[in-house]
Amino acid sequence: MTPGALAERRDLLILVLDSLVPASAEFPGAGVVALDHVLAVAAASADLESLLSRGLQVVEEAARANGVSGFAQASPDDRESVLRQVERSHADFFEALVRHTYDGYYGHAVVVTRLGLDPGPLHPRGHRIEAADLPDLSRVTARGPIYRQA
Amino acid sequence: MATDDRTDVLVIGAGAAGAAVAWRLARAGIGVACLEQGDWVDPRAYPHWRADWELHRHTDWSAEPNVRRLPQDYPVNDSASSISPLMYNAVGGSTIHWSAHFPRFRPSDFRVRSLDGVADDWPIDYATLEPFFDLNDRMMGVAGITGDPAYPPKSPRQTPPIPLDTLGVTMARGFDRLGWHWWPSDSAILTRDYDGRRACVNCGPCDLGCPIGAKASTDVTYWPKALASGARLVTRARVREITLGPDGLADGAVYYDREGRVHEQKARAVVLAANGIGTPRLLLNSRSARFPDGLANRSGLVGRNLMFHPYAMVRGVFDRPLGGHRGPIGCSIIGQEFYETDPSRGFVRGYSFQVARGLSPIASASGGSVGDRVPWGREHRRAYDERFDRTIMVAIIGEDLPEPANRVDLDPALADSHGIPAPRVSYTLSENSRRMLDHGIARAREALEAAGAREVAFNPLLRAGGWHLMGTARMGRNPATSVIDAEGRCHDVPNLYIVDGSTMVTCGGVNPTSTIQAVALYIADGIIRRRA
């Protein structure tokens, strides 16, 4: 498998990612925000690139076997059905694909923001927790010691 | 081979225990040199400073050396173990990535044989260690609140407890409804500035390190003081073997420096603090005509009786946001309702509930330590939103019992980057531990439901949960059934000390670092007394 083989299947990859995490009213699809991450991790590992690239080939072949000319021509329902087929037949590929898709998607600033969190580094900002009184521990202490003397 | 200046005491390993010993000895005027195979962690290098911080949890900041594969790591063959060992090789050791949950062992933990007829009693007890617990608390800085009825009275905590926040208050309500014990966790994380260190900013992922030193990793607690007291610390120094003099006493160690050159460090005494896997590995690699089966291993027990704390993880999903991404990831509440033995439960000894925080965005998608990934496809976003920021994770941390078949030995083929044979871990979860975890899962479900969870899922045994490495060079009075004596000295080599988790006779049902460090300080005190 030549380097960049996955990038050559970029259009198919976008469709697959969008099937894994479709766009909704408030959130973009994974084909938009997870794509760069998936391509980047694949570019950093020849094994992963090969696994994903071959997996996409299987996706395309499975779509054709289902009677359409390719995954792109399938309806959203049929795409999901094809992917479920491939998930069963090529578990390693699918496991890696979903993992890196979720990593890229939920690590992306746009998604993190829509989840209601501040994107970007955790430091130096941290998180604010409102000050509160110490909890009422009277019920717990009322029982007296619960440890065994030894 | 280069020969370094002879020192009074050579400490091998700069983690939780090694740092404590080095500080205590140096402060008493004893010459200390410490060899650490890792390096200092630059606070600016922590992933918290980067937007993609969460991606590093499963790559270069993984707690698993076999995943991380940094130059300073060594491989561990864990294919015959149901739990993967976790560790970090750096100044600070595994306190770099620990969650800093800081409970002590309870008095009964040292008297398991006498009280429950299993395993063995320790040759020391809670009362003996109490002043060392207190000293260690002051050095590490503990957030907490006194008065916990699960323990004998403790000295004042250094700062107020970690804030419970919505998540902790919710879970406490569940325990209260059931009438069960709970208490704000003792945590080695500052909630106020203390001893020149800053207070926690509640960023969350302590497991990736703490970039501001609010969490008590020993690179920011003990080591600055140890170095100021004259201790010498050599980093990227990987020890190959401990050497013996003609008198049969330990006289130093041979190590590789960061350029791969071989050095010899001579010492009057050697202290091993390389963790419950690294220590037996080094002893087994230190063979000689006098010790053909490994140094200090006439009992045959070096590497045996490996104990992890087996973890089961139980997650509740609630109908409202809980703010679980805020605050130290592993510290909120401890519950010890089922800690002491009750024969009616069908197992011996017991466990704690460690209530952790919620999951960050990526971990929420992958299922975190429960591992049930959010389904992909058209239902994905809805399923994700039902879970994100609405979960509470309860860890069941069970007391493992020592079993000789659970062990560390040397792998016949695997080696580290210097060609030193790597450890091989063999571990099977015992029937007692299985029953204990099953009991804990059922009780955690009750507690979560009492707190309002509408859905509960669990992982019956967390594979990537080998945070605590214990028992592989255990303490005891009888040289036939233990490796070190009650003062931490190897029965076979009386100037060779062991101070890390290997020493533990039994492992309690709580995180062990507080107790490991107290034992280390106690052993250091003995070294000082004998020298005087």
* Shortest alpha-carbon distance between residue A121 and chain B (Å): 4
* Shortest alpha-carbon distance between residue A30 and chain B (Å): 11
Q: Residue A115 is nearest to which of B183, B203, B388, comparing CB atoms?
A: B388
* C-beta contacts of A82-85 below 8 A and 24+ residues apart: A83/A16, A83/A19, A83/A20, A83/A59, A83/B376, A83/B377, A84/B377
- How many angstroms from the chain centroid is the CA of residue B187? 13
Asked if B416 and B76 count as a contact pair (C-beta separation under 8 A), the reply is no
Which residue in B232, B250, B235 sits closest to B26, CA to CA? B232
What pLDDT score was predicted for residue A118? 92
Q: Residue A123 is nearest to which of B114, B150, B203, comparing CB atoms?
A: B203
What pLDDT score was predicted for residue A131? 79
Collect all residues with Cβ–Cβ distance below 8 Å to B259 and sequence separation of at least 6: none
| pLDDT of residue A13 exceeding 90 | yes
What pLDDT score was predicted for residue B5? 86
Q: What does the alpha-carbon distance between residue B495 and residue B498 come to, in Å, rounded to a whole number?
A: 10
Q: Residue B149 is nearest to which of A111, A123, A146, comparing CB atoms?
A: A146
Burial class (CB in 10 A: 0-12, 13-18, 19+), A139: middle
Which residue in A38, A67, A69 sits closest to A55, CA to CA? A38
| pLDDT of residue A3 exceeding 70 | no
- B-interface mutation test, from A86, A106, A108, most B Cβ less than 10 A away: A106
* Shortest alpha-carbon distance between residue B437 and chain A (Å): 20
Size of chain B, expressed as the number of residues it contains:
532
Q: What does the alpha-carbon distance between residue B73 and residue B397 come to, in Å, rounded to a whole number?
A: 27
What pLDDT score was predicted for residue B472? 98
Q: What does the alpha-carbon distance between residue B267 and residue B124 come to, in Å, rounded to a whole number?
A: 28
The percent of residues in chain A predicted with pLDDT above 70, rounded, is 98
What is the pTM for the complete model shown? 0.96
Strand runs labelled E in B48-190: 77-81, 183-184
Helix (H) or strand (E) holding B12: strand B2-12
Taking the domains of chain A in order of start, what are their residue ranges? 5-120
B2-44+78-531 topology per CATH: FAD/NAD(P)-binding domain (3.50.50)
Query: Which chain A residue's Cα is nearest to B360?
Result: A106
Taking the domains of chain B in order of start, what are their residue ranges? 2-44+78-531
| pLDDT of residue A1 exceeding 50 | no
Q: What does the alpha-carbon distance between residue B92 and residue B48 come to, in Å, rounded to a whole number?
A: 18
What pLDDT score was predicted for residue B2? 84
What pLDDT score was predicted for residue B402? 98
What pLDDT score was predicted for residue B485? 98
First-last CA distance in chain B: 34
Q: What does the alpha-carbon distance between residue B257 and residue B234 come to, in Å, rounded to a whole number?
A: 9
What pLDDT score was predicted for residue B264? 97
What pLDDT score was predicted for residue B185? 95
A17-31: average pLDDT: 96
Identify which has the larger pLDDT, A149 or B317: B317
Q: What does the alpha-carbon distance between residue A5 and residue B146 come to, in Å, rounded to a whole number?
A: 61
Q: CA B132, B138, B140, B141 torsion: positive or negative?
A: positive
- A-interface mutation test, from B166, B202, B362, most A Cβ less than 10 A away: B362
What pLDDT score was predicted for residue A150? 82
What pLDDT score was predicted for residue B338? 98
User: From first to last of its 532 residues, what are the pLDDT tens digits of chain B?
Assistant: 888 889 999 999 999 999 999 999 999 999 999 999 999 999 999 999 999 999 999 899 999 999 999 999 999 999 999 999 999 999 999 999 999 999 999 999 999 999 999 999 999 999 999 999 999 999 999 999 999 999 999 999 999 999 999 999 999 999 999 999 999 999 999 999 999 999 999 999 999 999 999 999 999 999 999 999 999 999 999 999 999 999 999 999 999 999 999 999 999 999 999 999 999 999 999 999 999 999 999 999 999 999 999 999 999 999 999 999 999 999 899 999 999 999 999 999 999 999 999 899 999 999 999 999 999 999 999 999 999 999 999 999 999 999 999 999 999 999 999 999 999 999 999 999 999 999 999 999 999 999 999 999 999 999 999 999 999 999 999 999 999 999 999 999 999 999 999 999 999 999 999 999 999 999 999 999 998 7
* Shortest alpha-carbon distance between residue B165 and chain A (Å): 7
Q: What tokens does B486 get? A: 């009650």
Contacts of B184 in chain A (CB under 8 A): 134-135
Give the β-pairing of B407-415 and B391-398: unpaired
